[in-house]
Each structure stands twice: as C-alpha cells, then as structure tokens.
C-alpha cells in the first residue's frame, strides 16, 4: 500500500506531463472501442437484415443449386419432397422457384432472376402479398435498387422472357405491383419476384422449387434425397468473412494509435529514470530494495492506463451512447458494397469489447512501463546519489 501511495503521489505530482499522457491514452481507448463498435454494429445489422428477409432459420437447396453459378439454374429445381411439403403446409417453410430470365423495358434488355414466392408466406420479411395472383395480368415485385437501374416504377409494364422446363423460350407482359424498399441487396438487385404458382405454370414446373426457406425457430428435418440443408451460419459465412477482413484491416489503425500512446508512456518512464536518479539512491539508502523501486516506477506507468480509462469513460460514454442511439448517416454509395445496413449505421458495444479493450491497454501500458525500469537492477546507491548510472 505504501508503494501504491508513493506511486500515486509521484504521478499526480508530475502535473501537465501526466495529464497529457492520460489524454492521449484515453483517446486511444475511445477510438478503439468506437471503431470496433462500428464494425460490430455493421455485422449485427447486416446479419439481422439478411436473416429476416432471406435466410430465416436456414434453407433447403436443391442439390444442383449454386447461387454463384447461374448455369446451374437450368437443372436446379425439383418437386418439393413430402418432408418439406409438410413444413410448408404447417407454415414453417416457404418454397421459392428460381428461374433465369430477362426483362425488356425502355428499349433495352437485361438478365434477371425470376423468383416465384408464395404471396401468403409469413416465413421471411418479404412483402410478397403484393404479388397475389389475379386474372388481370402478371404482378411483379421489384426492389428500389432494381427500379432505379431499370427506370421502372409502380404500375409500369415490362416484358418478361424465360425458358421453360422443355427448353422452349416464352415471353409475357408483367406489371410492377410494388417497389419495395429493403436493405438486403440479395433480394433486390437483378431480382423480379412473381407469384409462385404463376411462375410454375409459366415454366411447366408444377409443384417444383429451387429453395425451401425454413421459418426462424422451426426445427429442421433431415434433408431429403436430392436436397441439401444450409444453416444460417453457412448462409452468412460470406458476410462474416467480409466483416473479419474489415476488422483485420482496421487493426492496423488501432496498432498505430496504441503505438503512439505507448511511445509517450515509454518516453515518460525514460525521462523519469534519468531525472530521478538521486531519488532512487535516497530510497535505496533508506532501505528500499531494487525490486520495490522497479515495482514503484512500473506502477506509476501502469496508473497512466487506469487514469486514461477513467478519463475516457467521462467523455467517451456520452459520445458513444449518442452515436449508438442516433447512428451515422451513410451515403447511397454503400448500396454498391453489398452490405445490408441501410442508410444509417448503428454501433454495437458489448461488455466483452469494452472490458477486452481496457485490459489490453492496461497490460500493454504495464509492459511498456516496466521495460525501461530494468536498468534499476544494475544501479548502485552511491552512483545514484551522485546522479550517475553504472
């Protein structure tokens, strides 16, 4: 306790030098927590949005289906097995038929994916009720990104072309029933949503599907022959890989901040050892061992981290709380990055993030404070009283 009181008194007695070091170190605290919170918030928003709008509790894929290979779509469909049909009947799953096609609008043609969905499904957060089939025409649901790229709006007509199960090409006029606004680009860009039964009729694929999406919270059944179950973790693996890559790249920035803060602590310790040689000699002459003096100087440096955590909490908590509540506005360009995070990004700060960052900085500060003090082990009291090193 005596060593702690002496270290605290020396630290506060250093005045401006101490508080400058504490300020720099506290800024590193706050910036690291803020940046990591932004990345975690991006991860949480994108994961929750994709799960709610597309993946739900997982998906059963036709064995030949590969979302990254459009050439597989010709054969990536089949009758819904009885096990999955039972889930669909109970409202625990919904089938989706995916067909490669094209649309003609405004004198231009563009390839799209025609996706048939049940208008009454409640499995995913897709406004499929807008494509409720009627005898008047072919209703279609598109996203706001798709509408912007094609120039289509609600009520506009366009021509849909597709290839049926026998390989014959066919075309039909469709009308935009609604333009949905969604943060998930995977159900928007290059997608045209049609009534499931109407698309099955158009393609001569009765009772067939490409994907069967399981309701969130529903218990999955063993995948039937010819189908593969993809869990939510598997479906989100690409997103997690992107987030990890961004987190790794941001770590370079954290290391630079931490290095600058630690450099200030290291310089302060070196200067203290140089200027306080007579003090160390006096303490040795009074009976303090070299080990206790090393602990004293190390503790002085480590207390910089404790003060920085307190100071950082004073101004950091209000700032980070405000940003977590209001979010940060993002430019429209963010849509092209493929993240389902919308126009505002909300930070997420977990206890593990705050405690882990605090412990990291405290440990590094203690190590950096100890390194210069190793010279005290070779110091003789008589040389110290003369103001010299051996």
CB within 8 Å of 42: residues ≥ 6 apart = 243, 246, 339, 341, 345
Whole-prediction pTM value?
0.73
Average pLDDT over residues 32-56: 83
Interior CA angle at 149 toward 337 and 139, to 5°?
A: 115
Which pLDDT value is given to residue 330? 64
Average pLDDT over residues 260-285: 72
Provide the pLDDT confidence category of residue 338 given band limits of 50, 70 and 90.
low
Task: Say how far apart CA 162 and CA 146 lie, in whole Å.
Answer: 18
Q: Which residue has the higher pLDDT, 339 or 106?
A: 106
State the average pLDDT for the chain.
Answer: 82
Task: Say how far apart CA 221 and CA 217 lie, in whole Å.
Answer: 13
| Residues 197 and 236 sit within 8 Å (Cβ to Cβ) | no
Helix axes 2-13, 290-326, angle to 10 degrees: 60
Return the structure tokens found at 119: 């208008």
CB within 8 Å of 226: residues ≥ 6 apart = 62, 63, 78, 81
Which pLDDT value is given to residue 260? 76
Highest mean pLDDT pick, 94-98, 137-141, 145-149: 94-98
Model confidence pLDDT, tens digit, residues 173-214: 999 999 998 878 888 888 999 999 999 999 999 999 999 999
Asked if the model's pLDDT at residue 275 lies above 60, the reply is: yes
Return the structure tokens found at 294: 């090393």
Which pLDDT value is given to residue 13? 74
Task: Say how far apart CA 352 and CA 371 lie, in whole Å.
Answer: 28
Asked if the model's pLDDT at residue 339 lies above 60, the reply is: no
Model confidence pLDDT, tens digit, residues 57-70: 899 999 999 988 88
**What percentage of the chain carries pLDDT values higher than 90?**
24
Which pLDDT value is given to residue 45? 80
Average pLDDT over residues 321-337: 68
Average pLDDT over residues 12-41: 81
Q: What is the DSSP letter of 164?
A: -
Bridge partner list, 209: 78
Interior CA angle at 312 toward 306 and 315, to 5°?
A: 150
Average pLDDT over residues 311-327: 85
Lowest mean pLDDT among 87-96, 207-216, 317-326: 317-326
Task: Say how far apart CA 60 and CA 54 lie, in whole Å.
Answer: 13
Which pLDDT value is given to residue 80? 92
Provide the pLDDT confidence category of residue 135 given band limits of 50, 70 and 90.
low
Burial, 34: exposed, middle or buried (Cβ in 10 Å; 0-12, 13-18, 19+)? middle
């Amino acid at each position: 306790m005596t060593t702690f009181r002496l270290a605290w008194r020396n630290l506060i007695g250093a005045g401006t030098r101490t508080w400058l070091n504490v300020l720099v170190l506290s800024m590193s605290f706050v910036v690291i927590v803020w940046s990591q919170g932004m990345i975690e918030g991006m991860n949480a928003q994108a994961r929750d949005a994709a799960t709610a709008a597309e993946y739900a509790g997982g998906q059963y894929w036709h064995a030949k289906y590969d979302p990254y290979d459009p050439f597989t779509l010709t054969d990536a469909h089949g009758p819904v097995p009885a096990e999955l049909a039972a889930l669909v009947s109970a409202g625990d799953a919904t089938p989706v038929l995916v067909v490669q096609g094209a649309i003609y609008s405004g004198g231009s043609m563009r390839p799209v994916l025609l996706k048939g969905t049940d208008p009454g499904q409640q499995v995913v957060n897709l406004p499929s009720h807008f494509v409720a089939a009627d005898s008047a025409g072919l209703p279609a649901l598109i996203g706001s990104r798709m509408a912007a790229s094609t120039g289509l709006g609600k009520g506009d007509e366009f021509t849909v072309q597709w290839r049926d199960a026998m390989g014959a090409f066919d075309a039909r006029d469709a009308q935009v029933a609604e333009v949905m606004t969604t943060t998930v680009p995977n159900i928007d860009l290059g997608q045209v949503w049609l009534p499931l039964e109407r698309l099955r009729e158009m393609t001569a694929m009765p009772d067939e599907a490409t994907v069967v999406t399981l309701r969130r919270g529903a218990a999955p059944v063993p995948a039937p022959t010819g189908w593969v179950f993809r869990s939510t973790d598997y479906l989100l693996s690409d997103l997690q890989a992107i987030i990890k890559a961004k987190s790794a790249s941001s770590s370079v920035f954290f290391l630079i901040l931490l290095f600058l803060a630690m450099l200030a602590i290291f310089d302060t310790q070196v200067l203290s050892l140089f200027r306080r040689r007579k003090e160390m000699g006096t303490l040795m002459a009074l009976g303090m061992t070299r080990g206790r003096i090393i602990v004293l100087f190390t503790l002085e440096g480590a207390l910089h981290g404790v003060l920085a955590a307190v100071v950082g909490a004073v101004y950091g908590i209000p700032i980070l709380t405000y940003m977590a509540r209001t979010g940060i506005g993002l430019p429209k360009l963010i849509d092209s990055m493929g993240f389902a995070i919308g126009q505002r990004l909300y930070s997420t700060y977990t206890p593990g993030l705050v405690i882990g960052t605090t412990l990291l900085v405290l440990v590094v500060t203690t190590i950096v404070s100890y390194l210069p003090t190793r010279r005290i082990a070779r110091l003789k009291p008589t040389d110290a009283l003369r103001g010299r090193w051996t």
